[in-house]
Amino acid sequence: MNFRQHVRAQFAHSTFIARWQQLGLTALLFLLPFETQGGVQLPGLLLTPLELLALAVLGVWAAGLWREQRWPQVPRAAALAGAVFLGALLLSAV
């Protein structure tokens, strides 16, 4: 496989993941008003289908970043605010 074929194959895979990300986000936006009360029951936790779809979209996004071997481009202030928020969620869950 020469360099051009390698780049083409990598771009096709990246485009494939990007399309699944777009499809998942579109489905998430369309299904947002129709969230139901049922879902997957875990001990002390109920995951609705909308939350499961959101987790799947995040998983596809993480797989795309892992495949491209790069970190997301997030401003430092936004990353810090997100980390503080996640820390607060974890503390409140205990």
Using one digit for the tens of pLDDT, what is the confidence trace for 56-82?
888 888 888 787 777 778 889 998 998
Which of 32, 25, 80, 92 shows the shortest CA–CA distance to 57? Answer: 25
Consecutive H or E run containing 47: strand 45-47
Give the per-residue pLDDT at 78: 92
17-55 pLDDT, tens digit each: 778 778 888 888 887 787 777 778 778 778 888 888 888
